[in-house]
Amino acid sequence: MPAQDARALDEAEGSARTMTYGVGLVAGAIAIILMCLLCARVIF
């Protein structure tokens, strides 16, 4: 088997982690906005 490039693997993992956090933040923001809209509709 060929040798693995540890530096390239670390770089790929870092970019994947950043993308995962970004997607999570966007999903969380959308969830908060939807909850606020639903609660405002119930209250008013």
Q: What is the pLDDT of residue 42?
A: 81
* Distance between CA atoms of residues 35 and 23, nearest Å: 18
The angle formed by the CA atoms of residues 17, 9 and 1, to the nearest 5 degrees, is: 145
Alpha carbon 31 to chain centroid distance? 13
Q: Which one-letter DSSP state was computed for residue 1?
A: -
Backbone angles phi, psi at 8, to 5 degrees: -65, -40
Q: What is the pLDDT of residue 17?
A: 97
Q: What is the pLDDT of residue 2?
A: 85
Provide the whole-model pTM: 0.71
Give the mean pLDDT per block of 10 residues along the chain (44 residues).
90 96 98 94 79
